[in-house]
Structure formats: structure tokens, C-alpha cells
Chain A
Amino acid sequence: MKTISMHIRGFVLALVKIFKSPIEHLLNILTLTVIIATLGSVLVISKNISIIQKNNVNFPQIVIYLKDNVGQNGISTVEAAINKFNSKIIKNYQFISKEQGLSELQKDESLKQIASDVISSNNNPIPDVLIINTSTADNHRLQMLAGKISKLEMVSDVQMDTNYASKIENLVKFISKISNLLQIAFEIILVIVIYNLIRLQMLLRKDEIIVSRLIGASDSFIMRPLAYYAVLQILIATAFAIYGVNLFVIYLNNMFANLASLFGSNFRLYPLDYMQMLQISGILIIFGVFAVFLAVRWVFRGNYVA
């Protein structure tokens, strides 16, 4: 009970302090807000990129041309073999018989003539085809699968266009790497800023800290109000930052909506969700307390009594 009331008192004191000289603290909060907002934007970007990747990218198809006259048995054998691979990257497959292929051709105005020629000569040159829809853009895994398929007896040829997919995949990987690096960079900047903030606070309260120390204050007694102060500032700044980022996303989506009516796309950005907001606040608070700890250690080592 004693500790709870101590925590409450600590928070109230920190709040009172911020409200007593709001201008001074507003500057700190603004700095933190800008950093956290940038961090939030990076998160929004990387989140949306992974959503785009999941939903909108057409993963490559593997087109399997079967040998001439494999017959119904041969087709079943190939299908069974593919099922046996039980590969996670096979979404589904679809068989297109040579007859189906031909009638597809006939539907096409420009190819109609050729198709009817073929029919009249009674010698359909179109092979039986199996098309596999995959669920990845990972070039390496696709190549492995294609390799395995091409070794099947009934298969004459395997084709696949991985180029487009792997380009997108690489781009996404590149962007998410950069966004990870940016995240780390901003987290480091945040620790430094908070560290400095706390050091400044400690210098401003140097006399009080020295006296407290001399009359028996523990490390945690000195750290607690600084930690409350830091956590409170981070919470306020995070709230501002998340609100700002999500407002900006809404603004951008309105803009996209106008563009969409021109280009017929329904692209939209997803804002930060509650889990992410909680995550950001949690991580930042941990970093903040860590920075307080560092600052207190550092200042004690230099200037203060045993």
C-alpha cells in the first residue's frame, strides 16, 4: 500500500511539475513528439508495404507442359506427383487439356482463323498444360520446385516468370531493411534525447539530489521521480505523435481516394492499430526508464557523494 501511494504521489508530482512550467516542458515534449512521429511513420510505411505484399502481389505461376499423348493416366500421375510434393508454396493448380487450350484459342478473334485451321487438319499441336499458382515470390524456392517438377517423366517443359515477382520481393525486403534500420536509429536517438533530458533535470535539481543522498536516499528514491517525469513526457509525446501520424494517414487516404477515381485503383494506407500503439508506448517507456537509469548512474559516477 505504501508503495502504491508512493507511486501515485510520484506521478502527481511529475504532472504538477510539467503543468507548472508548461513552456519549458512543451519544448521537450515537442522534440519527443517529432521523433516518435517519425518512428511511427516508419512503422506505418513498413506495415503497409507488408500488407501490399500480402494482398496485391500476383505470385508467379509455374506452367508445366506435358509430353504429347501422355493420356489420362499420365496426367493423373503428374497430378499425384505434385500433390506428393505437398509444398507450402503451391496455392493450387489447374489442368488445361489440349482441347480446352484449343477452344480458348478459338475465343480469341485474332487467333480464330489459326485455330480452325488446326481443327480442320485434325492435328491439335497444343500440349496438355498444368498451371500451378504459387504463394511466394521467393525465387530460390520457386526454382527448387520447378526443378523437381521438370524431373518428372511426363513433363516436357517447365516455364515460370520469376523476374517480376523477385524484383518486387527484393524491393520490399530492401525497404523493410531500411525501415528496420530507421527504427533502430530513431530508438537510439530517443534514448539519447531522454538521457540528455534527464541529465539536465538532474543538473537543475543537483542540490536536492545531493542533499537527499546525504540524508540516506537510495538510488531508486532519486530515480523514481525522474522516471515518472520521463515516462509522463513519453506518454504525452506518444499520444500526440500517434494522433498526428494517424491524422496524416487519413489525410493521405482522402487524397488517394481522389486519385483512385481517376486511375480506378482502390489503394489506401492503413493507420497504426491499437496493438501497435501499445507496442510503441511500451517499448518507448522501457527505453525511457533505461535512459533514466543510464543518466542517474552516469551523473552519480561523476559528481556525487558515496
Chain B
Amino acid sequence: MSNQMVVFEQVYKKYPGNITAVENLSFNIERGELVFLAGHSGAGKSTILKLIAGILTATDGLVMVNGIDLSKTKQNHRTFIRQHIGFIFQDHKILFDRSVFDNVRLALDVLGYGEKELKNRVTKAIASVGLEHKIHAMPEQLSGGEQQRLCIARAVVHRPKILIADEPTANLDRGNALRILELFKMFHKAGVTIIISAHDENILSDYGKRIIRINQGQLGG
């Protein structure tokens, strides 16, 4: 098995209306690595992360994740690939009509877990992000940082091989942002490949991890 978890080779992504979000982009991410994806707003960070998760498909070029060529897989199969990925969305995608517990359980429902195992895992995931006291709270009763933690719990509850976080520290004060990054470090230690995007590099420089810089859909900046 190759040592690369993510391979981008001359990848292009065009949105309808001839908007080029990613242009001739090549990079690798190793198994078990923790990398940051940095770039200004509109640079193409979210687009790149969605390409990795198979939520979007490349217009051209090669996108390989865990040895699978995503450009050649059908929509239905890409859906299954997402079952091995944890994604923390920039806009959170929290369901406000249900409790913290029920938000997190959705990720296991999708996989068809039985009730007992599910309860066990959801409780553990919620505890691992320090939200156990809010397990039955509704999302609107959570602070910004707590909502971010809820998203992380939902992304890790099924123990994915890759964890992708799209600007998990945005809108958080420095203290909260650092606490969130500590959480990722913890999952990194457990062997998960982690990709985190951010537009504010200040907070990243302390970590001594590789930073992939994106500028207008290309490497550099």
C-alpha cells in the first residue's frame, strides 16, 4: 500500500459559469500526516477539501484518496468512500431540530450501526470533544466553540481514516481556537490523517506542521 493518503496531480476544478477554483494543482499528503491548507478567502480551500472527500469531482487531473482514483468512481461509490472520511464543514451543517446526541448519531445511522454500539460510540465521541454535559442539549443552546466541537464529534464518531476540517477555527477567539486544534492533535496521535484549512496563518505557525499554501487555486502565496 502506498504511503500517500492523498494525491493531487494537475487537478483543475471549474464551476459552472467558467469559474476556475482550482488550477493545475499538485500535492501529496502522507498517511498519518497532519497538514494545514492555508490561503485567503476565495483561494479554493473548500473546493480542494470537497474534491478530497468526493463531494465534488475534478474537471481534469488525478485525485487519489487512500489509493482510489476518485475521478473514475461512480457517484454511488464516492458516497461510500465518504463513509471512511470525517468532514467538518465550514458552515457546520448542524441539524437544529435535534439534540447534540442525535446530530452525532446520524453519522452512525448512515452506516447502519445497531442501537447499543451506536449509543456507546456516540457517547464516547461527545465526551472526547468535552461536550458530555451538553449531550442532550439542542444546538442553539451551544456557544460557537461548542458547536464546532459538536461538528468534530460527528466527524470522528465512525473513526475515519481521514479527518478533513474546513476552517474549524474561524469565528473562534484564540483560546477556543487553540483548544480545538488540541483536539485535532489528539486524533492525529491516534493515527488519523488530518487536513485542516484556515485563512489565518498566525495560529498555525506554532504547530511546526506542513502548510500547503493556496493562492487563486494554485500552490504558492
Query: What residues make up the interface of A, taking CB atoms closer than 8 Å to B?
Result: 2, 5-6, 9, 207-208, 210-219, 221, 305-306
> CB < 8 Å: which of B57, B79, B89, B95 contacts A216?
B79
B112 with A214: CB separation less than 8 A: no
Which interface residue of A207, A212, A218, A306 has the most chain B CB atoms within 10 A? A306
Given A5-B114, A306-B54: A211 touches B106 (CB 8 Å cut-off): yes
Complexed CA–CA distance, A5 and B75 (Å): 28
B106 with A306: CB separation less than 8 A: no
A217: which B residues are within 8 A, CB to CB? 79, 110
The chain B residue with its CB closest to the CB of A6 is B112
How does the 8 Å CB contact mask read for B39-81 relative to A, with 1 for contact and 0 for none? Answer: 0000000000000001111000000000000000001101111
A215 with B80: CB separation less than 8 A: no
B56: which A residues are within 8 A, CB to CB? 306
Given A2-B112, A207-B95, A208-B95: A214 touches B55 (CB 8 Å cut-off): yes
B1: which A residues are within 8 A, CB to CB? none
A216 with B110: CB separation less than 8 A: yes
Complexed CA–CA distance, A212 and B93 (Å): 10
A211: which B residues are within 8 A, CB to CB? 93, 95, 106
The chain B residue with its CB closest to the CB of A3 is B112
Chain A's nearest CB lies how many Å from the CB of B157?
A: 10
B79: which A residues are within 8 A, CB to CB? 213, 216-219
A214 with B82: CB separation less than 8 A: yes
A210: which B residues are within 8 A, CB to CB? 93
28 sampled A-B residue pairs with Cβ under 8 A: A2-B114, A5-B114, A5-B115, A6-B112, A208-B97, A208-B106, A211-B95, A211-B106, A213-B79, A214-B55, A214-B89, A215-B82, A215-B106, A215-B107, A215-B110, A215-B154, A216-B79, A216-B83, A216-B85, A216-B107, A216-B110, A217-B79, A218-B76, A218-B110, A219-B76, A306-B55, A306-B56, A306-B57
> CB < 8 Å: which of A9, A215, A221, A306 contacts B78?
A306
User: B19 at the A/B interface (Cβ < 8 Å)?
Assistant: no
Chain A's nearest CB lies how many Å from the CB of B185?
A: 23
User: B111 at the A/B interface (Cβ < 8 Å)?
Assistant: yes
User: B101 at the A/B interface (Cβ < 8 Å)?
Assistant: no
Complexed CA–CA distance, A219 and B79 (Å): 9
User: B87 at the A/B interface (Cβ < 8 Å)?
Assistant: yes
| 4 cross-chain pairs, A with B, having the tightest CB-CB distances, nearest first | A216-B83, A216-B82, A217-B110, A211-B93
A305: which B residues are within 8 A, CB to CB? 55
Complexed CA–CA distance, A5 and B118 (Å): 13
The chain A residue with its CB closest to the CB of B111 is A216
Given A212-B109, A215-B107: 4 more A-B contacts, CB < 8 Å? A215-B106, A216-B81, A219-B79, A221-B109
Which interface residue of B78, B87, B95, B97 has the most chain A CB atoms within 10 A? B95
The chain A residue with its CB closest to the CB of B57 is A306
Chain A's nearest CB lies how many Å from the CB of B77?
A: 10
A212: which B residues are within 8 A, CB to CB? 106, 109-110
Complexed CA–CA distance, A215 and B54 (Å): 11
Chain A's nearest CB lies how many Å from the CB of B95?
A: 6
B57: which A residues are within 8 A, CB to CB? 306
Would you list which residues of chain B between 109 and 163 have a CB under 8 Å from chain A? 109-112, 114-115, 154
B80: which A residues are within 8 A, CB to CB? 216, 218
